[in-house]
Amino acid sequence: MNLLDTPWIPVRRSDGSRTLIRPAEIADSDNPPVALDSPRADFNGALAQFLIGLLQTCYAPIDDGEWEDRLEQPPLVAALDQAFARYHDAFEVDGEGPRFMQDYEALEKSLTGQKLKNATKPIEWLFIDAPTENTLENNADHFVKRGHVEALCPACAVTALFTLQINAPAGGKGQMSSIRSTNKEKNAGKYSPGQGALTTLVALDPEGSCLPDTLWHHLWLNVLPQTVPLTGNPKLSGPEHIFPWLAPTRTSEKGQSVTPEDAHPYQMYWAMPRRIRLDFGDTKEGDCDLCGRRDRLLLRYVTLNYGINYAGAWRHPMTPYVERSEGKPLPLHPQPGGITYRHWIGLIYEEPEGQKRLTPAIVVREFQRKKLPEEQFRLWAFGYDMDNMKPRCWYEAILPLYRVPEEIRPDFTKRVAQLIEAAEYVAGLLKRQVKEAWFKRPGDVKEDVGFLADGFYQHTEADFYACLPRLIDALAQGKDPEVLQGWHATLTRAALELFDEWTGSDEIAFADPARVARACDNLRKQLYGARLARILTLPKKPKEKAA
């Protein structure tokens, strides 16, 4: 199976039909593919990165002009086939010789006896959210049950393999994590870096763009011209420096690492931290447990620890980072509570955060630099929220991406930061006063009530995004203070509504009306207090004269 020749990517076409295509067929103009259509959300995210990486590696435009030409006039399928053929051998999945995203050594043949038995794992364990060995031993697979997937077709198996390699979490001693992992770093605030890095991609907004809503256009928005510098060593241009499985694995049992000096920049798209071989020697015919298609099915894979240890200041083009005055930049990852509007500015524009600076993904930054028509685009943000090796949740969000004129961009980001800071302050007030209303001794309550703040952000999200176009217009007219005043009114109204909703109870026997009234009064005073007014730079109210 070669990934460039075989139809294996599930898509939905413009007429609604569902099918499998070869990578070059993303440019098919006859009933074009419009979306990826995998049975798992993390697979769709991985396949988008696979296709963008393939275009970047084999079909990168020379400059902005060529990028715009190909956006307006997609290539023919034959042209993409010709471009991809340059690295055809790197995309073999089985057979003799190097295999896509698999260890150079044929582990399934070189290991024997107990070593082979210990290294052989059920195919289900390629999934990041599959129950681990410890989970099974403790019978703790309460939510994701064991045994749901016992056999996978080659297409699903290789997609799971690619998903694991680009998201690889910590997996125990010697299990290397992804090139975007920072598991040894400490928490860095609300955008805390860590494992399971966040991916952000530019996407079309079909309702706000004149560009055709096709998969080609969605992907091409994230391909960089060759003029954009990336971390890595471009002098190492051999295929083995881009696709690490084409050469003996640079293992890490003695602490060896691969830094940006040791690999081509495009290896970031094809990083392979885990030593894995799919076992094609023992398959069976049947229906795939994931997609349901009839095919030869893989049952297991073989793995060893101490794969490639990516170290140094790598900066993946599809991930936002925290820049620090000292030390390497840290990739961001999703946090409990999901991706909400409070993260918006740091994912799209540079944002100072104390001694650090949040910077958007390179593909987002470069897209905003281009001189495109003033159309509406979106940001597709997704990734695993990991607790060490345990996935807590898969988060995914579509956020609006407004094109802001450069001359007002500094003032725009400053004002948006004020809007978000005000929302965070009010969310904290609301959470605290609801606890005061609920509990006689709220300080003794240990339960996590973070869902209250999450509910507040969800309740005000539509208002926030409606605020941004008004802010762009107001800045041009010098009327931005009016937008901030309006946001104060929105936050105040939402906080009081939610307070009433969350503290109102039909079980009057369990409620304390006096306590609820005191908490409401405190909330109201703080909503109209000096601190929130200072955050939003609201004008001071004139003092009332004594009678």
Amino acid 510: pLDDT: 56
Q: Name every residue whose Cβ is closer than 8 Å to that of residue 99 and which is 6 or more positions away in sequence.
A: 92, 93, 245, 277, 278
Closest by CA position to 176, among listed 117, 121, 103, 233? 103
Q: pLDDT (tens digit, 9 = 90+) per residue, 56-91?
A: 999 999 999 999 999 999 999 999 999 999 999 999
Predicted local confidence at residue 211, as pLDDT? 86
The answer to whether the Cα torsion of 172, 276, 3, 236 is positive or negative is positive
- For residue 268, the cross-strand partners are none
pLDDT at 46 > cutoff 90: yes
Q: What is the DSSP letter of 152?
A: B
8 Å CB contact between 373 and 198: no
- Residue 326 pLDDT class (50, 70, 90 cuts): confident
- Tell me, what DSSP letter sits at residue 74? P
Tell me if residue 50 falls in helix, strand or coil. helix
**Helix H or strand E encompassing 503:** helix 480-503
CA distance 159 to 23: 13
Which residue, among 100, 76, 78, 79, has the nearest Cα to 88 in the 3D structure? 100
Token pair, residue 265, equals 């920049």
Are 360 and 180 contacting, i.e. CB atoms less than 8 angstroms apart?
no
Per DSSP (E only), the strands in 3-146 are: 9-13, 18-21, 33-36, 120-122
- Averaged confidence pLDDT in the chain: 88
When pLDDT is averaged across residues 121-142 and rounded to a whole number, the result is 74
Length of the chain as a residue count? 547
**In this model, does residue 506 exceed pLDDT 80?**
no
Contact (Cβ atoms closer than 8 angstroms) between residue 389 and residue 133: no
Region 198-216: mean pLDDT is 90
Instruction: Look at residue 254 in the predicted model and tell me its pLDDT.
Output: 87
Q: Tens digit of pLDDT for each residue in 230-251?
A: 999 999 999 999 999 999 999 9
Per-position DSSP letters for 180-210, written without gaps between them? T--TTSPP-STT-B-SS--EEEEEE-TTT-S
Stretch 157-170: mean pLDDT: 92
Q: Provide the 3-class DSSP secondary structure of residue 26.
A: helix
Rounded-to-integer distance, Cα 25 and Cα 46, Å: 18
Check residue 136 and give its pLDDT.
56
Most confident by average pLDDT, 132-136, 185-189, 220-224, 435-439: 220-224
Instruction: Answer yes or no: is pLDDT of 167 > 80.
Output: yes
At 12 the three-state DSSP class reads strand
Kindly state the average pLDDT of the residues 271-293. Answer: 95
pLDDT tier, 227 (very low <50, low <70, confident <90, very high otherwise):
very high
C-alpha radius of gyration, the chain, whole number: 26
Q: What type of residue sits at position 53?
A: G
Are 244 and 271 spatial neighbours (Cβ–Cβ below 8 Å)?
yes
Q: What is the residue type of 537?
A: T
3-state secondary structure of 75: coil
Of the ranges 112-121, 183-192, 211-220, which one carries the lowest mean pLDDT score?
A: 183-192
- Provide mean pLDDT across the span 523-532: 93
Inter-residue contact 47 to 68 (CB < 8 Å) = no
Q: What share of the chain is helix, strand, coil (3-state, %, to 5)?
A: 40, 15, 40
Distance CA 50, CA 70 (A): 19
- pLDDT tens for each residue of 445-490: 666 777 888 899 999 999 999 999 999 999 988 899 999 999 999 9
Cα(138)–Cα(421) distance, integer angstroms: 43
pLDDT at residue 189, as a whole number? 45
Rounded to whole angstroms, how far apart are CA atoms 249 and 196? 23
User: Cβ distance 199 to 372 under 8 Å?
Assistant: no
Give the model confidence (pLDDT) of 172-203 as tens digits: 778 888 898 764 444 444 444 446 689 999 99
Please give the average per-residue pLDDT across 502-517, as a whole number: 73
Kindly indicate the confidence band of residue 140, based on its pLDDT and cuts at 50, 70 and 90. low
- pLDDT given for residue 197 in this prediction: 82
- Within 13 Å and on the Cβ side, how many CA atoms surround 328? 19
Measured over all CA atoms, what is the biggest interatomic distance in the chain, rounded to whole angstroms? Answer: 95
50, 57, 55: which is closest to 100 by C-alpha?
A: 50
Alpha carbon distance 466, 48 (integer Å): 29
CB-count burial class (<10 Å; 0-12, 13-18, 19+) for 529: exposed
Indicate if the pLDDT at residue 138 is higher than 70: no
Mean pLDDT throughout 12-35? 96
The side-by-side arrangement of strands in the sheet containing 275-278 is 120-122, 300-304, 275-278
Model confidence band, residue 374 (pLDDT cutoffs 50, 70, 90): low
Whole-angstrom Cα distance, residue 446 to residue 469?
A: 41
Q: Which SS3 state, helix, strand or coil, does residue 258 take?
A: strand
Nearest to 273 by CA among 236, 233, 311, 224: 311
